[in-house]
Amino acid sequence: MLAPVLELVAIRKVYGDTVAVGDVSFALGRGEFLTLLGPSGSGKTTTLMMVAGLVAPSAGTMLLDGKPLDPLPPYKRNIGLVFQSYALFPHMTVAQNIAFPLEMRGMDRREIQRRTGRALDLVGLPGYETRYPDQLSGGQQQRIALARAIVFEPRLLLMDEPLGALDKKLREQMQIEIMRLHKQLDISVIYVTHDQDEALVMSDRIAVFNSGRIEQLGAPEELYERPASRFVADFLGESNFFPGIAKVVGGEHCEIEHGKDRLRGRSRGLAAGQAAVLAVRPERIRLAPPGSPALASENFVSGRVRNIVYLGKSRKYIVQIDDGVEIAVFEQARGDRIPTVGVGDAVTLIWPVDDSTVLSA
Amino acid sequence: MPRGRWFWLAAPALLLIGAVFLVPVGWLLLRSLSDPRWGLQNYAAVFAHPVYLRVFWNTIVIAGSVTALCLLIGYPVAYTMAHAGERGRRFLVFVILIPFWTSLLVRTYAWLVLLQQNGLVNRVLVDSGLVAAPLQLVYNRLGVLIGMVQVQLPFMVLPLYAVLSRIHPRYGQAAATLGAPPVAEFRRVYLPLSLPGVFTGCALVFITSLGYYITPALLGGRQDLMIAQLILIQIGDFGNWGLAAALAIILLFGAAVTLALFYRILAARQRPLR
Ligand SMILES: Nc1ncnc2c1ncn2[C@@H]1O[C@H](COP(=O)(O)OP(=O)(O)O)[C@@H](O)[C@H]1O
Ligand SMILES: [Mg+2]
């Protein structure tokens, strides 16, 4: 990675006895799109506010282009921030809102006009100069807030759940527009969301937050394929968990004992005898007739179909395995072909060892 | 539910206002036009005598000064209230409302005691060596302003507080991240958003100040005669009901025009309220 634009070193924020953010560290590369993903209350907003300068960290250091950020008040940081609630100034027109950061920088009138016009073009709302925020739809307000946050060419763009208030269709459309803008402007972005699909679609890298800490930071595939903790496996996408005891440890793999079954998966740093859990994605499991042979590189368990849910593009099978654990399996729905497996049928579940991850329980 | 039905909930209040306000005002209007004979001579007299106009002017200047002072003193108080914690807020509300605990007359006499030549304030000032001789704090414009500002302050602070406490902090935060230092943030964002409260508070203080009687009568000098005092003098000393009624009607008209103006400005500023 090139010299990072922003670096957080052991940043911490404590309110009374609540640890809102505990020892968060990460570096944001130039032009990178980093998403902070986590459940509500996990410290994402607080982290963002500390970068923006609106909340003072209790401990830790922040560097912008290698220089300490902490002594700078927010108005000197040159960091754009889009709030979830947009925070457009209600007493100013769209043009006045967008011109505001430029006026604060002492730009002359013609330059302000030129840049305001260009920013409106960029967000696809040319001609909206004289509207007031309350004359705009939610999606339009969002675009104006975005225009206002990028018009002064900030070093960094922060967005706090900017699409949270929009309906699904508009949200997906805006995701694509924000990605396009990110490419076009080559700007470094920290994006906050609690929507895992949004994070997977948009990000170069994702930092998964849990109770004020980063559980795992990595590229979307990495997090999805190689979750480092049960929390990540559960929060990002859907996972099945087979609890057990780590038996054989060594190399890249680990074998656990789950009831009478032996299951294997990739793992790191587990000790034999430790309580463990094997995680596998529902779409990696294949349903086969009972007693079907599995390869040496595959895990298998037997069970009985409890329920089938038609989801349009796929079917979700709920299979109860012999010890009572319920496992979800996704199968692509292919045309109008009738599924060969029905509720109550005995089945064998088969999936590749390399699609399984063994984590400490 | 037809809208009109709820109208009846306001009926008692409307009846009361009709009875205690409209009837006397109608009677005054009649009197101003008919006493001692029918015609506009009472109004002509008001506008023909510089003395009367002078008193109107006094009234407007005093009410305006009181309004300006209340705004100057009250805005920081309302701001503090809006940004204080729950306990600080309650304490401030309590302090602000203390003046309502005693009658206007008692408070005004208290000011008289405090501010007179050898009153507490002057004694402290002289004894501490801040001034050589006692200051003239009462029986002049200063005394009137001190007494009226104290009484009127809650009417500025409370409407202001109502608006300021609803200005979401994210507007200021947004301004800061966009590059606005605190002064610009206040001037360009906070102040404009607070204007509805400023207008309401000013309208309330200005209009109620126009009719003040006791405070200027007790704390003011000869130069600080206000219109309400003049009306009483006309009735009490001269039995000139016609002229007094004309003065009262002009005062009422002036207050109504002021109120209408404030409403116009407020309506034009409606947007920041949302
Ligand atoms: N001003 C504050 N005072 C006290 N606690 C706060 C404050 N701001 C945030 N918190 C607490 O810090 C934690 C993290 O909050 P936040 O950063 O808003 O989470 P997120 O944005 O991930 O939902 C929560 O438990 C929240 O209650
Ligand atoms: Mg949040």
Q: Could you report the per-residue pLDDT of A16-44, keeping only the tens digit for each?
A: 999 999 999 999 999 999 999 999 999 99
Q: Is B118 on the interface with A (CB under 8 A)?
A: no
Q: Is B27 a domain residue? A: no
CA distance A157 to A83: 11
- Taking the CA of A54 as reference, the closest ligand is 1
Per-residue confidence band for A336, with pLDDT thresholds at 50, 70 and 90: low
- pTM of the predicted model as reported, rounded to 2 decimal places: 0.87
Residue A83: closest CA among A136, A45, A32:
A45
Residues in chain A: 361
- Amino acid A141: pLDDT: 95
C-beta atoms of B173 and A54 within 8 A:
yes
Q: Which residues does a 6 A CB cutoff place in the pocket of ligand 1? A: A 15, 18, 20, 38, 40-46
pLDDT band at A314 (very low <50, low <70, confident <90, very high): confident
Does a structural domain hold residue B249? yes
pLDDT score of A2 more than 80: no
Indicate the top mutation candidate among A13, A15, A49 to test ligand 1's pocket, ranked by most ligand atoms within 8 A of CB: A15
Q: Do B178 and A101 touch (CB under 8 A)?
A: yes
What does the pLDDT read at residue B273? Answer: 42
For the stretch B199-250, pLDDT in tens is: 999 999 999 999 999 999 999 998 899 999 999 999 999 999 999 999 999 9
Taking CB atoms and an 8 Å limit, are A132 and B175 in contact across chains?
no
* SS3 label, residue B181: coil
Mutate to test the pocket of ligand 1, among A35, A45, A50 (most ligand atoms within 8 A of CB): A45
**Chain A residues closer than 8 Å to B170 by CB:** 83, 85, 87
User: Is A100 within 8 Å of B177 when comparing Cβ atoms?
Assistant: no
Specify the residue for token string 């209600």: A90
Is B41 a member of any domain?
no
User: For residue B274, what pLDDT is reported?
Assistant: 42
Q: Report residue B253: phi and psi, to 5°.
A: -60, -45
The per-residue pLDDT for range B117-175, each reduced to its tens digit, is 889 999 999 999 999 999 999 999 999 999 999 999 999 999 999 999 999 999 999 99
Minimum-distance CB partner of B170 among A78, A85, A149: A85
Is the minimum CB–CB distance between B186 and chain A shorter than 8 Å? Answer: no
Chain B residues within an 8 Å CB radius of A101? 178-179
Q: Does the residue B206 lie in any domain?
A: yes
Q: Which of B176, B181, B274 minimises the CB distance to A90? A: B274
Mean pLDDT on B79-95: 92
Asked whether the CA dihedral A202, A208, A213, A217 is positive or negative, the reply is negative
Give the domain CATH number at B228: 1.10.3720.10
From A201, A191, A212, select the one nearest A12 (Cα to Cα): A212
pLDDT value for A312: 83
Give the number of the atom of ligand 1 that is nearest the alpha carbon of residue A209: 22
Judge whether B33 lies within some domain: no
The predicted complex's ipTM stands at: 0.87
The predicted-structure confidence for B59-69, as pLDDT tens digits, reads as follows: 999 999 999 99
Q: Domain range holding B190?
A: 47-270
User: Which chain B residue's Cα is nearest to A105?
Assistant: B179
| B45: confidence class by pLDDT, cuts 50, 70, 90 | very high
Q: Which of B170, B180, B181 sits opposite A83 (nearest CB)?
A: B170
Chain-centre distance for alpha carbon B196: 17
The average confidence (pLDDT) of chain B is: 91
* Minimum mean pLDDT range among A220-234, A301-315, B2-16: B2-16
Counting residues of chain A whose pLDDT is more than 70, the rounded percentage is 98
Distances (CA, A) of B179 to A53, A77, A99, A108, B85: 12, 8, 12, 16, 28
Domain total for chain B?
A: 1
Q: Does B21 fall in a domain?
A: no
